[in-house]
Amino acid sequence: MTSQSDRTRLIAAATRRGRGRRPVNPPIERGSTLLNDSAALMREPGPVPVYGIEDLGAASALRAALSDLEGASWTGLVPSGLAAVTVPITALTRPGDEVLTTDAVYGPSRRFLTRHMTARGVSTRFHEAGASTEAVIAALTDRTRVLLIESPASLTFEIQDVAALAAACRARGVLTVMDNTWAAGLAFRPLAHGVDVSVQAVTKYVAGHSDLLMGSIAVTDPVVGRPIAETLEDLGWRVSPDDAWLALRGLRTLPLRYGEQGRSALQVAEWLQARPEVLDVLYPPLPGSVGHDLWRRDYDGAASILGVVLNGGSLTAADALLDSLTLFGLGFSWGGFESLITHETSQLAHRLNPPTLAGPLIRLHIGLEDPDDLIADLERGFATWRAEQV
Ligand SMILES: *Cc1c(COP(=O)(O)O)cnc(C)c1O
């Protein structure tokens, strides 16, 4: 059979024959205790787990579908996207090791590294957010055990040559873990580019409806996967069957939502770029923007999240802009069906080298609304913003 597109495979997995007459979707099996028919059967290993901390129907269907999407031999599920970063790093490092990552890494990942891991003898070095491939490789030391890649990175969306980094790390015996939330396991396949561990916040695009928290950890090499699976087991982390079921539902429509939201985001980004109120749009899919060439080389699609540097103006004016919008919810997170807007400037202060921006940094997440309506809302917002300038 010729290889089918993601759209087709993610749906065809639900209708596969040979599994008896049944509903299209797996049952939500809520169970801590699982009952057996006899004492002897209690000792028998079988396809059904003996206790509810192991996967029941929806979680195992979700793991199989994510493995298919990521090109993985094993995918584990954890209760948040943050845990998808923390579990592999915990599993793959020992006291005395060092982790290297970008100064633009997702804030809670940074906090985990600098607080939790430092206290356990694993130190972290940060490379410049916009560092070249050569500069990142030069920052590896004899003690570096893991390179944590996040590309495009949080808030400022610097994009990296992931294949080149993965190859250089492999040659030096350094493991690579990539936070691929931006590409949703869809627009970029870290494992196919030589990355050892591909993680994402399922919370964002896979779930897609802003109603659950979950993370996934995907690997190809069982030698890398085993300590991660054991760490999951040791820490006792599993996801709820209800959440797994919702994430599986989200996954069926992921390619359509991701594609549509990416197209809308590009339309909004182009409109913003031409506005006098905007100094800069941080969005690699936008032609002419930083990282655009690498994005075009490596990505099949675009996330719908934009950094926008306002053309000066006070924080009060930026607040007035955010407050005046009627279609953008004021909320953190992204990847859901709804448009959102947040402030970001204060989060940049946690970096070793915060970028110097000439105006406040805001972040837009573009949802499934009609982009023309979103643009009209932003146009009204900018009128309010201008009226606040003195
Ligand atoms: C949101 C996010 C996470 C964490 O996901 P949660 O489910 O909220 O813990 C991790 N990495 C990136 C890049 C994110 O944007």
The per-residue pLDDT for range 242-294, each reduced to its tens digit, is 999 999 999 999 999 999 999 999 999 999 999 999 999 999 999 999 999 99
Q: Which two tokens stand for residue 229?
A: 């699976």
Both 80 and 175 in one domain: the answer is yes
What average pLDDT is seen over the chain? 95
109/138 same-domain check = yes
Q: Are residues 100 and 58 in the same domain?
A: yes
Is residue 11 assigned to a domain?
no
> Are 332 and 236 within one domain?
no
- Tell me the pLDDT tens digit for each residue of 166-209: 999 999 999 999 999 999 999 999 999 999 999 999 999 999 99
Please tell me the distance between residue 271's alpha carbon and the centre of ligand 1 in angstroms: 28
* Mean pLDDT, residues 304-309 taken together: 98
Residue 201 Cβ < 6 Å to ligand 1: yes
Residue from 109, 181, 182, 197 whose mutation best tests the ligand 1 pocket (most atoms within 8 A of CB): 181
CA of 81 from ligand 1 middle (Å) equals 5
**pLDDT tens, position by position, 116-129:** 999 999 999 999 99
Question: In this structure, what token pair is assigned to residue 46?
Answer: 């079988």
Q: Tell me if 169 is assigned to some domain.
A: yes
Is 365 inside a domain boundary? yes
Q: Considering only 26-40, 121-135, 142-156, which range has the smallest mean pLDDT? A: 26-40
Atom 4 in ligand 1: residue holding the nearest Cα: 81
Residue nearest to atom 3 of ligand 1 (CA): 81
Query: Would 2 be classed as within a structural domain?
Result: no
**Domain count along the chain:** 2
pLDDT at 4 over 60: yes
The confidence score (pLDDT) of residue 270 equals 98
Please give the structure tokens belonging to residue 106.
């997702």
CATH of the domain at 165: 3.40.640.10
| CA gap 361, 318 in Å, rounded | 9
Tell whether 16 is covered by a domain: no
Q: Does 364 lie in the same domain as 321?
A: yes
Strand partners, 217: 76, 199
Atom 7 of ligand 1: nearest residue by CA position: 81
Q: With cut-offs at 50, 70 and 90, classify the pLDDT of residue 2.
A: low
What is the arithmetic mean of pLDDT over 58-66?
94
Give residue 339's pLDDT: 98
| Judgement on whether residues 194 and 275 belong to the same structural domain of the protein | no
- Domain end among 215, 249, 283: 249
Q: What's the pLDDT tens digit per position in 324-364?
A: 999 999 999 999 999 999 999 889 999 999 999 999 999 99
166 and 100 within one domain: yes
Domain closes at, from 249, 267, 287: 249
Output the pTM of the full model.
0.96
Distance from the alpha carbon of residue 221 to the mean position of ligand 1, in angstroms: 24
Q: What is the pLDDT of residues 72-92, one digit of tens each?
A: 999 999 999 999 999 999 999
The CATH number of whichever domain residue 338 belongs to comes to 3.90.1150.10
**How far apart are alpha carbons 55 and 122 in whole angstroms?**
31
Residues 143 and 191 reside in one and the same domain: yes
Shared-domain flag, residues 290 and 241:
no
The answer to whether residue 13 is domain-embedded is: no
Q: Is any atom of ligand 1 closer than 6 Å to the C-beta of 93?
A: no
Mean pLDDT in residue range 211-221 = 98
Average pLDDT (375-383) is 98
CA end-to-end distance (rounded Å), the chain: 66
At residue 1, does pLDDT exceed 60? no
Does 6 fall in a domain?
A: no
Amino acid letter, 307: G
Q: How far apart are CA 296 and CA 317, in angstroms?
A: 35
244 and 258 belong to one structural domain: no
Among residues 209, 229, 249, the one where a domain terminates is 249
Residue 189 in 3-state DSSP?
Answer: coil
CA of 64 to the centre of ligand 1 (A): 22
Which value, to the nearest 10 degrees, does the dihedral of the CA atoms of residues 34, 35, 41, 45 take?
A: -10
Say if residue 132 is in the same domain as residue 103.
yes
Q: What is the pLDDT of residue 390?
A: 65
Same domain (yes/no): 258, 281: yes
For ligand 1, is residue 213 a contact (CB within 6 Å)? Answer: yes
Percent of the chain exceeding pLDDT 70 equals 99
**Residue 82 Cα: closest atom of ligand 1:** 9
Indicate whether residue 82 lines ligand 1 (CB < 6 A). yes
Residue recorded with tokens 């943050």: 82
Range of the domain at 234: 22-46+53-249
In a domain, 1, yes or no: no
Ligand 1 centre to CA of 53 (Å) is 24
pLDDT value at residue 153: 97
CA distance 326 to 333: 18
